[in-house]
Amino acid sequence: MWKRGKRDDNPRRVRHTRRSTRTTRTTRTTRTGDARPVEPLPLELCDLCAVTFPREEAVCGYVPDSSSVHRTNEWFDGLRLITACCEEHFAVVRDRYRGRPFVQEELWAAKIDRALTSGTAVLTLTQLGCRTGLHEPEIRRAIAWHNEHLHQDLWP
C-alpha cells in the first residue's frame, strides 16, 4: 500500500515547484501625465539565495535528480531545472545535487506519486503500470522504497 507522506520536508532542499514570480501590474504616470499600464516583468527566484531578478538574467540548467519528475512531460523525469542569479550560485546548487545519490526506486516512486495525484483515479496495478510505464516488479520495489524512506532524506 502506498503510504501518503510529506517527503519534501528538508529545509536544505530546493523546492520542486518552479517559482516564476511576476510583479503586480502597476500604472506609471508618464511625463505627459498619461497613466498607462506597465507590463509586469517576469521574475525568477534564485534556488540558492532566493533573490529575485529578471528572467533574462537567469542562469539555468538541468541536473540529475531521482526525486524529480515533470508534472506533464515524462522526458524530464529524473532531471531538475536549477535557476540561479549567477554562475557561482548555479555551481553551488549543481554541486549539491551531484552529491545526492540517484536512486532508481526513488524515481519510480515519484512517477507513481504523480500518477496517483493527477488525472483520473488509478484503481489497479495494471492501470498504475499503464500510467507510469513501469512493470509490476518495478512498482512493487518503488512502493517498498517509498514506504521505507518516507521520513528519511538522501542528502549526504
The residue behind cell 523525469 is 77
Nearer to Zn ion, 89 or 146 (CB): 89
CB 26 within 8 A of CB 35: no
Angle at 74 between CA 90 and CA 151, to 5 degrees: 70
Interface pattern 31-50 for Zn ion (x via CB under 5 A):
---------------x-xx-
Total interface residues for Zn ion by CB under 5 A: 5
> H-helix or E-strand containing 80?
strand 79-84
Q: Is 85 in the site for Zn ion (CB under 5 A)?
A: yes
Closest contact distance (angstroms) between CB of 19 and Zn ion is 13
> H-helix or E-strand containing 92?
helix 87-98
Selected from 7, 89, 96, 146, the binder of Zn ion by CB under 5 A is 89
Q: Is 96 in the site for Zn ion (CB under 5 A)?
A: no
Residues 6+ apart with CB under 8 A from 71: 114, 118
Closest contact distance (angstroms) between CB of 91 and Zn ion is 11
Nearer to Zn ion, 93 or 139 (CB): 93
Interface residue list for Zn ion (CB under 5 A): 46, 48-49, 85, 89
